[in-house]
Amino acid sequence: MCLGIPGKVVEVNRSESWAVVESFGVRKKVDIALIDEDLVPGDYLMVHAGYAIGKIDLEDAQISLELWEEILHAE
């Protein structure tokens, strides 16, 4: 129920406050009223109960993977 699902934005309609996102091959219309940041196709959103609650920063995801590589290669 409280499940958050990441989705890739494929279409944005700001004036009607929705975006279509694709997660695991399934497309869904989600409400983007809670997202202040700019959205363009290709962005990733975290979706909860039909509403996007946050924009996923892919750069941070990349950094965190790189950090792991560093930790794993240390010693």
Binding residues vs another protein (CB under 8 A): 1-4, 6, 31, 33-36, 44, 46, 48-51, 53-58, 60-65, 68, 71-72
CA distance 69 to 58: 17
Q: Which amino acid is at 69?
A: E
Q: Which is nearer to another protein, 40 or 65 (CB)?
A: 65
Q: Which is nearer to another protein, 10 or 61 (CB)?
A: 61
CA quadruple 24, 54, 43, 61: dihedral sign:
negative
Q: Which is nearer to another protein, 1 or 40 (CB)?
A: 1
